[in-house]
Chain A
Amino acid sequence: MKALYNYLKEVAFAFVSLANGLLLTLKYFVTPWKSIITENYPDNRDHPSVADEFAGEVILIHDENNEHKCTACTLCQMACPNNSIQIISKQVETEDGKKKKVLDQWVYHLEMCTFCKQCIDACPQDAIKMINSYELSCFDRSTLTKVLNRPGSKLKEKAKVTPKVQE
Protein backbone atom coordinates (compact mmCIF):
# COMPACT_ATOMS: atom_id res chain seq x y z
CA MET A 1 0.00 0.00 0.00
CA LYS A 2 2.88 2.26 0.93
CA ALA A 3 4.57 1.51 -2.43
CA LEU A 4 1.41 2.43 -4.31
CA TYR A 5 1.13 5.66 -2.34
CA ASN A 6 4.75 6.55 -3.14
CA TYR A 7 4.22 5.72 -6.80
CA LEU A 8 1.14 7.92 -7.05
CA LYS A 9 2.95 10.69 -5.21
CA GLU A 10 5.80 10.51 -7.72
CA VAL A 11 3.39 10.62 -10.64
CA ALA A 12 1.66 13.64 -9.12
CA PHE A 13 5.03 15.34 -8.56
CA ALA A 14 5.99 14.67 -12.17
CA PHE A 15 2.84 16.31 -13.47
CA VAL A 16 3.31 19.29 -11.17
CA SER A 17 6.88 19.77 -12.35
CA LEU A 18 5.84 19.63 -16.00
CA ALA A 19 3.00 22.07 -15.38
CA ASN A 20 5.43 24.36 -13.61
CA GLY A 21 7.58 24.54 -16.71
CA LEU A 22 4.58 25.01 -18.97
CA LEU A 23 3.50 27.89 -16.77
CA LEU A 24 6.60 29.77 -17.89
CA THR A 25 5.78 29.09 -21.53
CA LEU A 26 2.22 30.29 -20.88
CA LYS A 27 3.55 33.42 -19.20
CA TYR A 28 5.57 34.32 -22.29
CA PHE A 29 2.67 33.31 -24.51
CA VAL A 30 0.37 35.92 -22.99
CA THR A 31 3.12 38.53 -22.39
CA PRO A 32 5.43 38.09 -25.39
CA TRP A 33 6.90 41.61 -25.16
CA LYS A 34 8.80 40.59 -22.02
CA SER A 35 11.18 38.35 -23.91
CA ILE A 36 11.48 39.89 -27.35
CA ILE A 37 15.09 40.71 -28.15
CA THR A 38 14.94 40.32 -31.92
CA GLU A 39 14.65 43.30 -34.23
CA ASN A 40 12.65 43.87 -37.39
CA TYR A 41 15.87 44.21 -39.29
CA PRO A 42 15.17 45.53 -42.76
CA ASP A 43 12.49 47.83 -41.39
CA ASN A 44 14.72 49.52 -38.83
CA ARG A 45 17.58 50.40 -41.13
CA ASP A 46 17.04 54.12 -40.51
CA HIS A 47 17.68 53.73 -36.79
CA PRO A 48 19.76 50.56 -36.32
CA SER A 49 20.61 49.51 -32.80
CA VAL A 50 24.26 48.81 -33.58
CA ALA A 51 26.64 50.25 -31.01
CA ASP A 52 28.95 53.04 -32.15
CA GLU A 53 31.91 51.01 -30.93
CA PHE A 54 31.03 48.01 -33.09
CA ALA A 55 34.06 47.12 -35.21
CA GLY A 56 32.64 46.76 -38.69
CA GLU A 57 35.19 48.11 -41.12
CA VAL A 58 38.39 50.17 -41.18
CA ILE A 59 38.28 53.64 -42.70
CA LEU A 60 40.90 56.30 -43.27
CA ILE A 61 39.70 59.51 -41.68
CA HIS A 62 39.34 62.42 -44.12
CA ASP A 63 38.47 65.96 -43.06
CA GLU A 64 36.45 68.49 -45.01
CA ASN A 65 39.50 69.60 -47.05
CA ASN A 66 39.97 66.03 -48.28
CA GLU A 67 43.07 65.64 -46.14
CA HIS A 68 44.11 62.57 -44.17
CA LYS A 69 46.77 61.95 -41.53
CA CYS A 70 48.46 58.86 -42.96
CA THR A 71 52.23 59.24 -43.33
CA ALA A 72 52.65 55.82 -44.99
CA CYS A 73 54.79 54.53 -42.12
CA THR A 74 53.40 50.97 -42.66
CA LEU A 75 53.13 50.27 -38.92
CA CYS A 76 49.53 49.11 -39.43
CA GLN A 77 50.66 46.82 -42.23
CA MET A 78 53.20 45.20 -39.91
CA ALA A 79 50.72 44.94 -37.04
CA CYS A 80 48.09 43.19 -39.14
CA PRO A 81 48.08 39.45 -38.41
CA ASN A 82 46.72 38.34 -41.77
CA ASN A 83 48.05 40.83 -44.31
CA SER A 84 44.77 42.54 -44.98
CA ILE A 85 46.48 45.94 -45.24
CA GLN A 86 48.77 46.99 -48.07
CA ILE A 87 50.34 50.44 -48.00
CA ILE A 88 51.59 51.52 -51.42
CA SER A 89 53.72 54.65 -51.18
CA LYS A 90 55.49 56.77 -53.78
CA GLN A 91 58.46 59.13 -53.76
CA VAL A 92 57.67 62.74 -54.57
CA GLU A 93 59.95 65.77 -54.76
CA THR A 94 59.05 68.73 -52.57
CA GLU A 95 59.66 72.41 -53.50
CA ASP A 96 63.05 72.54 -51.80
CA GLY A 97 64.33 69.56 -53.79
CA LYS A 98 64.00 66.89 -51.04
CA LYS A 99 62.58 63.50 -51.82
CA LYS A 100 59.68 62.46 -49.64
CA LYS A 101 57.60 59.31 -49.21
CA VAL A 102 53.86 59.91 -49.44
CA LEU A 103 50.87 57.65 -49.48
CA ASP A 104 49.74 56.48 -52.87
CA GLN A 105 47.17 53.79 -52.10
CA TRP A 106 45.87 52.50 -48.76
CA VAL A 107 44.62 49.08 -49.87
CA TYR A 108 42.30 47.31 -47.44
CA HIS A 109 41.34 43.66 -47.98
CA LEU A 110 38.08 43.52 -46.08
CA GLU A 111 37.59 39.88 -47.02
CA MET A 112 40.65 38.91 -44.97
CA CYS A 113 40.10 41.26 -42.02
CA THR A 114 39.34 39.70 -38.63
CA PHE A 115 38.47 43.02 -36.93
CA CYS A 116 41.08 42.57 -34.21
CA LYS A 117 41.85 46.33 -34.14
CA GLN A 118 45.61 45.82 -34.03
CA CYS A 119 46.06 48.36 -36.85
CA ILE A 120 44.08 51.04 -35.00
CA ASP A 121 46.22 50.32 -31.96
CA ALA A 122 49.47 50.54 -33.93
CA CYS A 123 48.74 53.78 -35.80
CA PRO A 124 50.83 56.59 -34.24
CA GLN A 125 48.87 59.34 -36.03
CA ASP A 126 45.32 58.10 -35.31
CA ALA A 127 44.73 58.22 -39.03
CA ILE A 128 42.45 55.19 -39.20
CA LYS A 129 39.45 54.08 -37.19
CA MET A 130 36.71 51.46 -37.11
CA ILE A 131 33.17 52.32 -38.10
CA ASN A 132 30.05 50.37 -37.29
CA SER A 133 28.93 49.43 -40.79
CA TYR A 134 27.46 45.96 -40.96
CA GLU A 135 25.92 45.36 -44.39
CA LEU A 136 29.08 44.01 -45.96
CA SER A 137 27.74 41.24 -48.18
CA CYS A 138 28.28 41.47 -51.90
CA PHE A 139 28.18 39.32 -55.01
CA ASP A 140 31.82 39.60 -56.01
CA ARG A 141 34.71 39.03 -53.66
CA SER A 142 36.92 41.51 -55.48
CA THR A 143 34.64 44.42 -54.48
CA LEU A 144 35.74 43.87 -50.88
CA THR A 145 39.26 45.00 -51.72
CA LYS A 146 39.08 48.72 -51.20
CA VAL A 147 41.35 51.70 -51.61
CA LEU A 148 40.66 53.81 -48.56
CA ASN A 149 42.30 57.14 -49.46
CA ARG A 150 39.99 59.22 -51.60
CA PRO A 151 41.18 60.41 -55.02
CA GLY A 152 43.02 63.69 -54.78
CA SER A 153 43.41 63.53 -51.01
CA LYS A 154 46.67 64.62 -49.44
CA LEU A 155 48.49 64.61 -46.12
CA LYS A 156 47.32 67.04 -43.49
CA GLU A 157 49.90 69.83 -42.91
CA LYS A 158 49.95 69.57 -39.13
CA ALA A 159 50.83 65.91 -39.16
CA LYS A 160 53.84 66.73 -41.29
CA VAL A 161 55.27 69.18 -38.74
CA THR A 162 55.04 66.94 -35.67
CA PRO A 163 55.85 63.36 -36.61
CA LYS A 164 55.79 61.34 -33.42
CA VAL A 165 57.22 57.95 -34.13
CA GLN A 166 59.11 57.82 -37.37
CA GLU A 167 62.84 58.16 -36.76
Chain B
Amino acid sequence: MENQTVTPSELKTEEFVVNIGPQHPATHGVLRVEVTLDGETVKDVLPHLGYIHRGIEKMTESLGYKQSIFLTSRMDYLSAHINNHLCALAIEKAAQIEVPARAKAIRIIMDELQRLTSHELWWGSCAMDIGAVTPFFLGFRDRERILELFEQNTGNRLTMSYIIPGGVMNDVRPDFVPKLKALLKSIKDYRKEYDQLITGNYIFQHRTQGIGVLSKEQAISLGCTGPTARASGLSCDIRKLYPYDGYEKLDFKEVIDYGCDNWARYVVRMEEMSQSIHIIEQLLDNLPTGDYRTKLKGVLKLPAGEYYQRVESARGELGVYIVSDGGAKPYRMKFRTPCYSNLGAVKPISVGMKIADLMANMATIDLVIPDMDR
Protein backbone atom coordinates (compact mmCIF):
# COMPACT_ATOMS: atom_id res chain seq x y z
CA MET B 1 0.00 0.00 0.00
CA GLU B 2 1.40 3.33 -0.99
CA ASN B 3 0.72 6.55 0.77
CA GLN B 4 -0.81 9.24 -1.40
CA THR B 5 0.07 12.80 -0.53
CA VAL B 6 -2.04 15.52 -2.03
CA THR B 7 -0.54 18.93 -2.59
CA PRO B 8 -2.84 21.95 -2.30
CA SER B 9 -2.62 22.65 -6.02
CA GLU B 10 -4.10 19.24 -6.83
CA LEU B 11 -7.13 19.73 -4.54
CA LYS B 12 -10.39 19.89 -6.42
CA THR B 13 -12.31 23.09 -5.75
CA GLU B 14 -15.80 23.93 -6.82
CA GLU B 15 -18.22 26.79 -6.58
CA PHE B 16 -20.61 26.85 -3.69
CA VAL B 17 -24.24 27.98 -3.84
CA VAL B 18 -25.66 29.81 -0.83
CA ASN B 19 -29.28 30.85 -0.44
CA ILE B 20 -29.68 34.17 1.32
CA GLY B 21 -33.30 34.44 2.34
CA PRO B 22 -36.25 34.25 1.98
CA GLN B 23 -36.15 34.66 5.76
CA HIS B 24 -32.99 36.62 6.30
CA PRO B 25 -32.71 39.89 8.21
CA ALA B 26 -30.45 41.47 5.62
CA THR B 27 -32.92 41.13 2.78
CA HIS B 28 -35.58 43.23 4.59
CA GLY B 29 -38.38 40.96 3.56
CA VAL B 30 -38.93 37.77 1.67
CA LEU B 31 -36.39 38.11 -1.09
CA ARG B 32 -34.38 34.99 -1.86
CA VAL B 33 -30.96 35.62 -3.36
CA GLU B 34 -29.13 32.64 -4.77
CA VAL B 35 -25.45 33.46 -4.53
CA THR B 36 -22.73 31.43 -6.22
CA LEU B 37 -19.53 31.72 -4.25
CA ASP B 38 -15.93 30.92 -4.97
CA GLY B 39 -14.50 30.94 -1.48
CA GLU B 40 -15.72 34.30 -0.27
CA THR B 41 -15.89 35.92 -3.68
CA VAL B 42 -19.29 36.35 -5.30
CA LYS B 43 -19.45 34.77 -8.75
CA ASP B 44 -23.14 35.08 -9.51
CA VAL B 45 -26.24 36.59 -7.93
CA LEU B 46 -29.69 35.37 -8.86
CA PRO B 47 -32.66 36.97 -7.08
CA HIS B 48 -35.86 34.95 -6.83
CA LEU B 49 -39.12 36.83 -6.51
CA GLY B 50 -42.68 35.79 -5.85
CA TYR B 51 -42.74 35.10 -2.13
CA ILE B 52 -44.98 38.08 -1.41
CA HIS B 53 -46.86 38.35 -4.68
CA ARG B 54 -50.40 39.43 -3.85
CA GLY B 55 -51.69 40.18 -7.33
CA ILE B 56 -52.39 43.84 -6.66
CA GLU B 57 -52.55 44.65 -10.38
CA LYS B 58 -55.14 41.95 -10.92
CA MET B 59 -57.12 42.94 -7.83
CA THR B 60 -57.52 46.50 -9.10
CA GLU B 61 -59.43 45.14 -12.09
CA SER B 62 -62.25 44.06 -9.80
CA LEU B 63 -62.28 47.24 -7.72
CA GLY B 64 -63.35 50.77 -8.55
CA TYR B 65 -60.85 53.57 -9.14
CA LYS B 66 -61.41 55.09 -5.71
CA GLN B 67 -61.06 51.72 -4.01
CA SER B 68 -57.86 50.74 -5.76
CA ILE B 69 -56.07 53.61 -3.99
CA PHE B 70 -55.94 51.66 -0.75
CA LEU B 71 -54.16 48.77 -2.48
CA THR B 72 -51.33 51.00 -3.70
CA SER B 73 -50.22 51.83 -0.17
CA ARG B 74 -49.49 48.12 0.27
CA MET B 75 -46.93 48.11 -2.55
CA ASP B 76 -44.20 50.27 -1.13
CA TYR B 77 -45.32 50.52 2.46
CA LEU B 78 -42.49 52.85 3.38
CA SER B 79 -43.72 55.49 0.94
CA ALA B 80 -47.47 54.90 1.13
CA HIS B 81 -48.40 58.57 0.67
CA ILE B 82 -46.41 58.79 -2.54
CA ASN B 83 -48.06 55.66 -3.92
CA ASN B 84 -51.50 57.07 -3.13
CA HIS B 85 -50.43 60.35 -4.71
CA LEU B 86 -49.47 58.56 -7.91
CA CYS B 87 -52.82 56.83 -8.25
CA ALA B 88 -54.74 60.00 -7.40
CA LEU B 89 -52.77 62.02 -9.97
CA ALA B 90 -53.39 59.48 -12.72
CA ILE B 91 -57.13 59.43 -12.05
CA GLU B 92 -57.29 63.23 -11.86
CA LYS B 93 -55.43 63.51 -15.16
CA ALA B 94 -57.82 61.10 -16.84
CA ALA B 95 -61.05 62.51 -15.40
CA GLN B 96 -59.79 66.11 -15.59
CA ILE B 97 -60.46 66.89 -11.94
CA GLU B 98 -59.24 70.20 -10.56
CA VAL B 99 -57.49 69.97 -7.18
CA PRO B 100 -57.63 72.86 -4.67
CA ALA B 101 -54.37 74.64 -3.85
CA ARG B 102 -54.52 73.63 -0.19
CA ALA B 103 -54.79 69.96 -1.11
CA LYS B 104 -51.76 70.26 -3.40
CA ALA B 105 -49.69 71.83 -0.63
CA ILE B 106 -50.75 69.21 1.93
CA ARG B 107 -49.95 66.47 -0.55
CA ILE B 108 -46.42 67.73 -1.11
CA ILE B 109 -45.82 68.15 2.63
CA MET B 110 -47.00 64.59 3.26
CA ASP B 111 -44.92 63.26 0.36
CA GLU B 112 -41.76 64.87 1.66
CA LEU B 113 -42.45 63.76 5.24
CA GLN B 114 -42.88 60.26 3.88
CA ARG B 115 -39.58 60.55 2.06
CA LEU B 116 -38.00 61.58 5.36
CA THR B 117 -39.44 58.58 7.21
CA SER B 118 -38.33 56.26 4.44
CA HIS B 119 -34.79 57.59 4.35
CA GLU B 120 -34.54 57.58 8.15
CA LEU B 121 -35.52 53.93 8.23
CA TRP B 122 -33.12 53.22 5.38
CA TRP B 123 -30.33 54.95 7.27
CA GLY B 124 -30.91 52.73 10.28
CA SER B 125 -31.26 49.47 8.40
CA CYS B 126 -28.35 50.23 6.06
CA ALA B 127 -26.04 50.80 9.00
CA MET B 128 -27.37 47.63 10.63
CA ASP B 129 -26.63 45.57 7.52
CA ILE B 130 -23.11 46.87 7.60
CA GLY B 131 -22.74 46.00 11.27
CA ALA B 132 -23.79 48.91 13.46
CA VAL B 133 -26.83 48.36 15.67
CA THR B 134 -27.30 51.73 17.39
CA PRO B 135 -28.35 53.64 14.22
CA PHE B 136 -31.26 51.26 13.79
CA PHE B 137 -32.78 52.47 17.05
CA LEU B 138 -32.03 56.10 16.34
CA GLY B 139 -33.55 55.86 12.87
CA PHE B 140 -36.71 54.30 14.24
CA ARG B 141 -36.88 56.87 17.03
CA ASP B 142 -36.90 59.75 14.57
CA ARG B 143 -39.31 58.02 12.22
CA GLU B 144 -41.68 57.50 15.14
CA ARG B 145 -42.03 61.27 15.63
CA ILE B 146 -43.17 61.72 12.03
CA LEU B 147 -45.48 58.71 12.22
CA GLU B 148 -47.13 60.29 15.26
CA LEU B 149 -47.85 63.34 13.15
CA PHE B 150 -49.32 61.12 10.44
CA GLU B 151 -51.47 59.37 13.02
CA GLN B 152 -52.85 62.68 14.28
CA ASN B 153 -53.66 64.06 10.85
CA THR B 154 -54.41 61.13 8.59
CA GLY B 155 -55.65 58.52 11.07
CA ASN B 156 -53.17 55.81 10.20
CA ARG B 157 -49.47 55.29 10.68
CA LEU B 158 -48.25 53.08 7.85
CA THR B 159 -50.88 52.56 5.16
CA MET B 160 -52.68 55.86 5.17
CA SER B 161 -54.97 55.93 2.09
CA TYR B 162 -54.99 59.68 2.73
CA ILE B 163 -54.35 61.19 -0.70
CA ILE B 164 -57.41 60.46 -2.82
CA PRO B 165 -58.62 61.68 -6.22
CA GLY B 166 -59.77 65.27 -5.81
CA GLY B 167 -57.62 66.20 -2.86
CA VAL B 168 -56.98 64.66 0.52
CA MET B 169 -59.28 62.59 2.75
CA ASN B 170 -59.60 65.10 5.60
CA ASP B 171 -58.14 68.44 6.53
CA VAL B 172 -55.06 68.60 8.72
CA ARG B 173 -55.47 69.52 12.36
CA PRO B 174 -55.20 73.21 13.34
CA ASP B 175 -52.01 72.47 15.29
CA PHE B 176 -50.38 70.74 12.31
CA VAL B 177 -48.15 73.64 11.26
CA PRO B 178 -46.67 74.54 14.67
CA LYS B 179 -46.12 70.86 15.47
CA LEU B 180 -44.44 70.25 12.14
CA LYS B 181 -42.20 73.30 12.61
CA ALA B 182 -41.02 71.98 15.97
CA LEU B 183 -40.53 68.55 14.41
CA LEU B 184 -38.43 69.87 11.53
CA LYS B 185 -36.22 71.67 14.02
CA SER B 186 -35.55 68.45 15.89
CA ILE B 187 -35.02 66.52 12.64
CA LYS B 188 -32.25 68.96 11.79
CA ASP B 189 -30.61 68.19 15.13
CA TYR B 190 -30.97 64.49 14.43
CA ARG B 191 -29.21 64.94 11.10
CA LYS B 192 -26.14 66.16 13.00
CA GLU B 193 -26.29 63.05 15.17
CA TYR B 194 -26.42 60.87 12.05
CA ASP B 195 -23.28 62.50 10.75
CA GLN B 196 -21.55 62.19 14.10
CA LEU B 197 -22.42 58.52 14.46
CA ILE B 198 -22.12 57.07 10.96
CA THR B 199 -21.01 59.50 8.27
CA GLY B 200 -17.71 60.24 9.95
CA ASN B 201 -17.18 56.66 11.03
CA TYR B 202 -13.95 55.18 9.68
CA ILE B 203 -15.26 51.62 9.47
CA PHE B 204 -18.40 52.66 7.65
CA GLN B 205 -16.45 54.73 5.16
CA HIS B 206 -14.16 51.84 4.35
CA ARG B 207 -17.09 49.46 3.99
CA THR B 208 -18.76 51.72 1.43
CA GLN B 209 -16.17 53.79 -0.45
CA GLY B 210 -15.20 52.19 -3.75
CA ILE B 211 -17.53 49.24 -3.17
CA GLY B 212 -20.44 48.40 -5.46
CA VAL B 213 -19.59 50.63 -8.40
CA LEU B 214 -22.54 51.14 -10.74
CA SER B 215 -21.51 53.12 -13.79
CA LYS B 216 -23.81 55.63 -15.42
CA GLU B 217 -24.14 53.45 -18.54
CA GLN B 218 -25.14 50.44 -16.43
CA ALA B 219 -27.65 52.54 -14.50
CA ILE B 220 -29.29 53.68 -17.73
CA SER B 221 -29.35 50.23 -19.34
CA LEU B 222 -30.78 48.58 -16.20
CA GLY B 223 -33.46 51.23 -15.84
CA CYS B 224 -32.31 52.33 -12.39
CA THR B 225 -33.96 55.44 -11.02
CA GLY B 226 -34.01 57.43 -7.85
CA PRO B 227 -31.07 57.88 -5.50
CA THR B 228 -29.46 54.71 -6.90
CA ALA B 229 -29.14 56.24 -10.36
CA ARG B 230 -28.52 59.78 -9.13
CA ALA B 231 -25.48 58.53 -7.26
CA SER B 232 -24.13 57.41 -10.65
CA GLY B 233 -24.46 60.88 -12.08
CA LEU B 234 -27.77 60.33 -13.89
CA SER B 235 -30.26 63.16 -13.63
CA CYS B 236 -33.60 61.41 -13.14
CA ASP B 237 -35.58 63.32 -10.52
CA ILE B 238 -39.21 63.24 -11.69
CA ARG B 239 -39.95 66.22 -9.45
CA LYS B 240 -37.63 68.28 -11.69
CA LEU B 241 -38.17 66.58 -15.05
CA TYR B 242 -41.96 66.15 -14.98
CA PRO B 243 -43.17 68.33 -12.11
CA TYR B 244 -46.56 67.62 -10.60
CA ASP B 245 -48.80 69.36 -8.05
CA GLY B 246 -46.68 72.50 -7.81
CA TYR B 247 -43.17 71.10 -7.46
CA GLU B 248 -42.17 73.47 -10.27
CA LYS B 249 -42.82 76.48 -8.01
CA LEU B 250 -40.60 75.21 -5.21
CA ASP B 251 -36.92 75.79 -4.81
CA PHE B 252 -34.96 72.61 -4.28
CA LYS B 253 -31.86 70.96 -5.62
CA GLU B 254 -31.67 67.68 -7.48
CA VAL B 255 -29.00 65.80 -5.55
CA ILE B 256 -26.50 64.21 -7.93
CA ASP B 257 -23.26 62.52 -7.01
CA TYR B 258 -20.66 61.17 -9.42
CA GLY B 259 -19.06 58.67 -7.05
CA CYS B 260 -21.10 55.70 -8.38
CA ASP B 261 -20.32 53.61 -5.26
CA ASN B 262 -22.12 52.77 -2.04
CA TRP B 263 -20.77 55.89 -0.38
CA ALA B 264 -22.24 58.08 -3.13
CA ARG B 265 -25.64 56.46 -2.68
CA TYR B 266 -25.39 57.10 1.06
CA VAL B 267 -24.46 60.75 0.51
CA VAL B 268 -27.28 61.30 -1.99
CA ARG B 269 -29.91 59.96 0.40
CA MET B 270 -28.59 61.97 3.33
CA GLU B 271 -28.61 65.14 1.24
CA GLU B 272 -32.12 64.36 -0.01
CA MET B 273 -33.33 64.45 3.57
CA SER B 274 -32.06 68.02 3.88
CA GLN B 275 -33.76 68.93 0.61
CA SER B 276 -37.06 67.45 1.84
CA ILE B 277 -36.87 69.58 4.97
CA HIS B 278 -36.16 72.61 2.76
CA ILE B 279 -39.22 71.88 0.58
CA ILE B 280 -41.54 71.52 3.58
CA GLU B 281 -40.28 74.75 5.12
CA GLN B 282 -41.18 76.71 1.99
CA LEU B 283 -44.76 75.43 2.06
CA LEU B 284 -45.39 75.77 5.78
CA ASP B 285 -45.14 79.55 6.01
CA ASN B 286 -47.90 80.19 3.48
CA LEU B 287 -50.09 77.11 3.50
CA PRO B 288 -53.07 78.04 1.28
CA THR B 289 -56.48 78.22 2.91
CA GLY B 290 -59.72 77.00 1.43
CA ASP B 291 -61.04 73.64 0.38
CA TYR B 292 -58.98 70.55 0.94
CA ARG B 293 -60.80 68.44 -1.63
CA THR B 294 -63.14 68.51 -4.60
CA LYS B 295 -66.20 66.42 -3.94
CA LEU B 296 -66.52 63.66 -6.50
CA LYS B 297 -69.34 61.38 -7.45
CA GLY B 298 -69.71 58.11 -5.61
CA VAL B 299 -68.70 55.98 -8.57
CA LEU B 300 -65.89 57.41 -10.63
CA LYS B 301 -65.76 56.64 -14.35
CA LEU B 302 -62.78 57.46 -16.53
CA PRO B 303 -63.15 58.16 -20.25
CA ALA B 304 -61.91 55.30 -22.40
CA GLY B 305 -58.22 55.54 -23.16
CA GLU B 306 -54.73 54.98 -21.86
CA TYR B 307 -53.11 57.10 -19.19
CA TYR B 308 -49.62 57.17 -17.71
CA GLN B 309 -48.48 59.09 -14.67
CA ARG B 310 -45.18 59.10 -12.84
CA VAL B 311 -44.01 60.44 -9.50
CA GLU B 312 -40.73 60.41 -7.64
CA SER B 313 -41.02 57.88 -4.86
CA ALA B 314 -38.45 57.56 -2.08
CA ARG B 315 -36.73 54.89 -4.18
CA GLY B 316 -37.10 56.14 -7.70
CA GLU B 317 -39.56 56.58 -10.50
CA LEU B 318 -42.96 55.15 -9.71
CA GLY B 319 -45.37 54.94 -12.60
CA VAL B 320 -48.88 53.75 -13.26
CA TYR B 321 -50.37 52.86 -16.63
CA ILE B 322 -54.15 52.79 -16.66
CA VAL B 323 -56.19 51.38 -19.50
CA SER B 324 -59.81 52.36 -19.20
CA ASP B 325 -62.71 51.06 -21.24
CA GLY B 326 -65.02 53.80 -20.01
CA GLY B 327 -66.42 51.73 -17.16
CA ALA B 328 -66.29 52.07 -13.42
CA LYS B 329 -63.42 49.61 -13.08
CA PRO B 330 -60.00 49.79 -14.72
CA TYR B 331 -59.42 47.42 -17.63
CA ARG B 332 -55.75 47.19 -16.68
CA MET B 333 -53.60 48.93 -14.13
CA LYS B 334 -49.87 48.38 -14.47
CA PHE B 335 -47.44 49.71 -11.92
CA ARG B 336 -43.84 50.50 -12.74
CA THR B 337 -42.14 50.18 -9.39
CA PRO B 338 -38.61 51.46 -8.75
CA CYS B 339 -37.37 48.57 -6.64
CA TYR B 340 -37.94 46.01 -9.38
CA SER B 341 -35.64 47.88 -11.75
CA ASN B 342 -33.11 48.71 -9.05
CA LEU B 343 -32.88 45.04 -8.08
CA GLY B 344 -31.25 44.41 -11.44
CA ALA B 345 -28.28 46.45 -10.29
CA VAL B 346 -27.43 44.00 -7.51
CA LYS B 347 -25.73 41.50 -9.81
CA PRO B 348 -23.45 43.79 -11.86
CA ILE B 349 -22.19 45.66 -8.79
CA SER B 350 -21.66 42.58 -6.62
CA VAL B 351 -19.92 40.10 -8.93
CA GLY B 352 -16.25 39.92 -8.05
CA MET B 353 -16.78 41.43 -4.60
CA LYS B 354 -16.78 39.66 -1.26
CA ILE B 355 -20.01 38.32 0.20
CA ALA B 356 -19.95 40.91 2.99
CA ASP B 357 -20.01 43.62 0.33
CA LEU B 358 -23.10 42.06 -1.22
CA MET B 359 -24.96 42.93 1.98
CA ALA B 360 -23.72 46.51 1.82
CA ASN B 361 -24.74 46.76 -1.84
CA MET B 362 -28.23 45.50 -1.17
CA ALA B 363 -28.53 47.87 1.76
CA THR B 364 -27.60 51.00 -0.16
CA ILE B 365 -29.85 50.18 -3.10
CA ASP B 366 -32.67 50.23 -0.54
CA LEU B 367 -34.88 47.36 -1.63
CA VAL B 368 -38.46 47.02 -0.46
CA ILE B 369 -39.66 43.57 -1.38
CA PRO B 370 -43.47 44.10 -1.56
CA ASP B 371 -42.72 46.90 -4.01
CA MET B 372 -41.04 44.48 -6.42
CA ASP B 373 -43.57 41.69 -6.16
CA ARG B 374 -46.79 43.65 -5.62
Q: Count chain B residues whose beta carbon lies closer than 8 angstroms to a beta carbon of A.
A: 35
Q: Is the CB of B161 within 8 A of A116?
A: yes
Q: Answer whether residue A54 sits at the interface, using C-beta atoms and an 8 A cutoff.
A: yes
| A115→B154 CA distance, assembly (Å) | 11
| A114→B63 CA distance, assembly (Å) | 15
Q: Answer whether residue B134 sits at the interface, using C-beta atoms and an 8 A cutoff.
A: yes
Q: Answer whether residue A75 sits at the interface, using C-beta atoms and an 8 A cutoff.
A: yes
Q: Is the CB of B151 within 8 A of A23?
A: no
Size category of the binding interface on chain A: 20 to 34
Q: Is the CB of B200 within 8 A of A117?
A: no
A-B pair count, CB < 8 Å, reads 76
B-side interface mostly = helix
Q: Is the CB of B298 within 8 A of A54?
A: no
Question: Of the candidates A20, A25, A37, A122, which one forms a contact with B298 in the assembled complex, judged by CB atoms under 8 Å apart?
Answer: A122
Question: Of the candidates B70, B173, B197, B299, which one forms a contact with A116 in the assembled complex, judged by CB atoms under 8 Å apart?
Answer: B70
| A75→B299 CA distance, assembly (Å) | 10
Chain B nearest CB from A102 CB (Å) reads 22
Q: Is the CB of A81 within 8 A of B298?
A: no
Chain A nearest CB from B211 CB (Å) reads 18
With A37-B145, A53-B173, A117-B161 as known contacts, state yes or no: A21 contacts B196, CB within 8 Å: yes
| A115→B141 CA distance, assembly (Å) | 25
Closest to B144 in A: A37
| A13→B203 CA distance, assembly (Å) | 11
Question: Of the candidates A17, A54, A75, A118, which one forms a contact with B70 in the assembled complex, judged by CB atoms under 8 Å apart?
Answer: A118
Question: Of the candidates B67, B69, B156, B299, which one forms a contact with A55 in the assembled complex, judged by CB atoms under 8 Å apart?
Answer: B156
With A18-B203, A20-B200, A21-B198 as known contacts, state yes or no: A130 contacts B71, CB within 8 Å: no
Q: Answer whether residue A24 sits at the interface, using C-beta atoms and an 8 A cutoff.
A: yes
| Among A24, A51, A80: residue with most chain B CB under 10 A | A51
What residues of A have a CB within 8 angstroms of the CB of B173 in the complex?
53
Q: Answer whether residue A8 sits at the interface, using C-beta atoms and an 8 A cutoff.
A: no
Q: Is the CB of A14 within 8 A of B298?
A: no
Q: Is the CB of B202 within 8 A of A17?
A: yes
| A80→B66 CA distance, assembly (Å) | 10
Q: Is the CB of A21 within 8 A of B298?
A: no
| A123→B197 CA distance, assembly (Å) | 51
| A21→B203 CA distance, assembly (Å) | 11
Q: Is the CB of B200 within 8 A of A78?
A: no
Q: Is the CB of A118 within 8 A of B66?
A: yes
| A121→B70 CA distance, assembly (Å) | 13
Q: Answer whether residue B223 sits at the interface, using C-beta atoms and an 8 A cutoff.
A: no
Q: Is the CB of A14 within 8 A of B202?
A: yes
Q: Is the CB of B155 within 8 A of A23?
A: no
Q: Is the CB of A114 within 8 A of B201?
A: no
Q: Answer whether residue A79 sits at the interface, using C-beta atoms and an 8 A cutoff.
A: yes
Question: Of the candidates A25, A55, A117, which one forms a contact with B134 in the assembled complex, judged by CB atoms under 8 Å apart?
Answer: A25
Please give the residue numbers on chain B whose beta carbons come within 8 Å of chain A beta carbons, in ascending order: 63, 66-71, 134, 138, 141, 144-145, 148, 151-156, 159, 161, 164, 169-170, 173, 193, 196-198, 200-203, 298-299
Task: List the 5 closest A-B pairs by CB distance, nearest first.
Answer: A55-B155, A14-B202, A81-B67, A116-B70, A116-B161
Please give the residue numbers on chain A whose beta carbons come within 8 Å of chain B beta carbons, in ascending order: 13-14, 17-18, 20-21, 23-25, 35, 37, 50-51, 53-55, 75, 78-81, 114-118, 121-122, 130
